[in-house]
Structure 1
Amino acid sequence: MVGLSEADVRMCAGFPTATADAGGSQIWTYQRTVQRGNLNVVIPTLAVGAVPTVGGSLNVDPGGYCNTQIRMVGGRVAEVAYAGDNNTQNHRNALCVSTVDGCVAYARQRHQVRTGVISR
């Protein structure tokens, strides 16, 4: 994504959820909340004679959220960072990658069109 113009980012990621001035640059934030299906296992309460009460629940793969933050300097992407509860059990920053993946695919397609690799 580094090097994409502001217009390119708006085309591939949409308009930012929030923006902030940062001393000669701007930070664009794209917020994403994911409500994933989860598994909630409840262990019944069990008390047997002198044995203490045992019970509880287990929540597997709850939802999360991601803030993809893009620093714009001179009208172009200079830096990308992630914030939030965006990890999954198997992947770091997994809830954030869709924004970047969409823009990388967009940039590749535009490059192929400009270089004549594919035609419109």
Structure 2
Amino acid sequence: MTLPPRLLPLLLLPLVLTTCSARDSATAEDGREQLIGLRADDLRLCAGVPNLTAQSAGGEFWTYDRTPPAAGVSAPVPVIGGSLSVSAGSSCRVTFQLVGNKVTRIGYSASSDLPMSQNSACAPVVQGCMRLVERHEVTPE
């Protein structure tokens, strides 16, 4: 049985989604190291206003919740007579611990439907900050 040529891109889509999600997960993990020492004002500048804040003896905690839209496709497959649907959904909660007005730790609580992409939904929270650090527009201390 030969597959129709237009079906091949649909079959490759899960591989592409997994690759992009793995890259975003790696970006989130890099942020966990590169953003330590970032000043509170710089964090607010690049990540925005947090969804939640809390104070404790351990410092101040800023939490960002993100649920990006699911990536996916649904297309009819005439050979099978049904449809093929591939989608990826994920969500993330990023918590920054600040002591002395500087980031000291970053924690992720994420879920993902794709393998090897546990923290991929967290990438948008840290990407803007990492770009500013890479361009030396802000400097973690």
Q: Smaller-chain TM-score range?
A: 0.5 to 0.7
1:88–1:94 contact (8 Å) kept in structure 2: no
Q: What are the ranges of 5 or more consecutive residues in structure 1 without an aligned counterpart?
A: 42-57, 114-120
Measured in 2, the distance between the counterparts of 1:100 and 1:73 equals 19
Give SS of 2:57's match.
Answer: coil
Alignment of 1:44-59 (within 5 A): none
RMSD: 2.8
For residue 67 of structure 2, what is the aligned residue in structure 1? 33
Normalised to the residue count of structure 1, the TM-score between the two structures is: 0.67
Normalised to the residue count of structure 2, the TM-score between the two structures is: 0.58
1:92 corresponds, among 101, 118, 123, to 118
Give SS of 1:80's match.
Answer: strand
Aligned length: 99
Alignment of 1:72-111 (within 5 A): 72-86=98-112, 88-111=114-137
Q: What are the ranges of 5 or more consecutive residues in structure 2 without an aligned counterpart?
A: 1-34, 76-83
Structure 2 residue 52 is matched with structure 1 residue 18? yes
For residue 51 of structure 1, what is the aligned residue in structure 2? none
Give SS of 1:65's match.
Answer: strand
Instruction: Pick closer, same or farther for the CA change 1:37–1:24 going to 2, 3 Å.
Output: closer
> Which structure shows the higher strand fraction?
1
For residue 90 of structure 2, what is the aligned residue in structure 1? 64
> Which structure shows the higher helix fraction?
2
Please tell me the residue identity of whatever aligns with 1:93. N
Give SS of 1:71's match.
Answer: strand
Measured in 2, the distance between the counterparts of 1:107 and 1:74 equals 20
